[in-house]
A and B are shown apart, each in its own frame.
Chain A
Amino acid sequence: MNEDEIITSLKNRFGERVHNSKIAKPRRVYVEVDASIIREALSYMRGSLGFDHLSTITGLDSEERIELIYHIVCGNSIVVSMKTNVLKTNPKIGSISDIYVTAELYEREVYDLLGVRFEEHPNLSRLILPEDWPENLHPLRKEATLEQIKSRLSMNGDGINERFND
């Protein structure tokens, strides 16, 4: 299956909920889908189009929305970057950790750094940040300044003994 056929199959299956598709160069495909169909779209890609590998999930702050990019690979060759976005004021989306096992870790990373909540995630807890990191400081959001992050980090060590007692 080549790049064109992948886009065509996606469009045939999901119609207008798939937009802005492009083939940037050989083996690099970008496509946007509505947030409501992300789980359906990814399980279709995995189940029917042979995209058995999730390379990673990129989260990115674009003004009032958080963009999520799922980089999935077919035959270790064609990379489809499937994009969707959620509102920054209520960043919620369905977890795909039942479709791609490794998504469990990548979703926790996005949760940590951008504050997106993945619904039905088996264990949406801190992966990178300390357990006592404040809920409202998301380091990769544009409004989080280096000074804020630095001053928070300099406090580290507080409460560390309690954490090890459980």
Chain B
Amino acid sequence: MSGSMIKVVIGPQHPALKEPERFIIEVEGEQVVQVTPRIGYVHRGIEKAMENRTYIQNLYLAERICGICSHAHTTCYVQAVEDLLSIEAPPRAKYIRTVIAELERIHSHLLWLGILAHEVGFDTFFMYVWRDREVIMDLLEEISGNRVNYAMNTIGGVRRDLDQEKISKILKGLEVIEEKAKKYIQMIQKEPTILKRTVGVGYLSSIDAVRYNAVGPLARASGVKRDVRKDDPYIAYDDISFNIVTRDEGDCFSRMMIRAEEILESINIVREALSKLPVGDISVKTRLVIPPSETVSRVEAPRGELIHYARSNGTDKPERYKIRAPTLANLKALCKMLTGIYLADVPVILAGIDPCFSCMDRMQIIDCEKKEKQSWTLDDLRRYAREWYQKH
């Protein structure tokens, strides 16, 4: 030990993004030696709140667990409650849920591609991607009335139907996004800025991806073929043919490519779902009091496996409702990837798991020898990273 061990505290406050998180990163020179995460800054006590509210009220809470993948959470929630009630949503409702889920995945992946481009200092790409993401946001607004928190799901079905006019608007929007996504894929593969900052960065082997129980695109980018839509099918995924995209590189480049390619798969899923859209009701009537039972509900959210556990007790409120979002599942894998890398790669790797917390505006650098403190913002770290890469 050369005595140059420095603790870099990243987070938790961040004025621009949601969901804070803190990482204490110990560095020796440029290299990260150890990473300690600390979460909970935005723990809202939703599980406790759910025990004190009715199943219908909880639907609105579930919608607000996440601002990006709210549909994934309500799908998981209504699926759990429908299972407790031993009812099933009508086929048309299941297909509409699938369409919204994939539109959500597309806008979530686009959002992430933009953020990663921003992290590597390629803001033009960020702006292109976020401009194009508006096509999907407009479609979601057209269908549900809302850009986010679409409130499409309800216990026993969906709240709004798709008519022919909306379907043709969706199909038109998808054409635009398909063309753009193909362009992005070409750009990612050729653009030197992206390649220099992502190829070989934040490596996670497939053995480690399994060992650290990584989920979603992070696992698939390390060659682990896991997707709840395929392996544990729900809503309409059983009837739709699609591929699970995997890649073997296991680095940030691979994670970028996976998401870009998944956008194309999602487009095809929406097209197929719309072409097969069954006729009939979009919801069934339900009771509000649920006999004692329990269930495990799983969904492939844009960030990976989402799992809810519910237990009913014969009243109109759940006895217990447990939620585990994908980012928590990927935290251990993230710490593994951050260990041994250069400090300059931290922002890209952190962003690389598509965290649904956005941490780290305030940084404290503590020199263990001198006990001196110095605060950095995320912009400082970004600047540091870019300058470091210009030199090396």
Query: Which residues of A approach B to under 8 Å, CB–CB?
Result: 24-25, 27-28, 30, 52-56, 58, 60-61, 69, 71, 75-77, 79, 81, 100-102, 104-106, 112-113, 126-130, 139-140, 144, 146, 149, 164
Contact = CB atoms under 8 A, between A and B. Distances in A.
B309 A81 contact: yes
A124 B45 CA distance: 20
A69 B307 CA distance: 13
Contact of B39 (A27, A106, A128, A146): A128
B226 A76 contact: yes
A129 B213 CA distance: 24
Nearest to A61: B320
Contacts of A146: 48, 52
B307 A56 contact: yes
Given A58-B309, A71-B307, A101 B213 contact: yes
Given A77-B231, A127-B39, A129-B40, A60 B295 contact: no
- Per DSSP, chain A at the interface is mixed
A139 B331 contact: no
A68 to B, nearest CB: 11
A150 to B, nearest CB: 9
Contacts, number: 87
B298 interface: yes
Given A61-B320, A76-B228, 11 more contacts: A55-B329, A56-B328, A60-B320, A76-B305, A101-B212, A102-B213, A102-B329, A112-B40, A126-B40, A127-B38, A146-B52
Contacts of B298: 55, 79
A104 B296 contact: no
Contact of A140 (B38, B40, B48, B307): B48
Contact of A76 (B45, B52, B232, B328): B232
B332 interface: yes
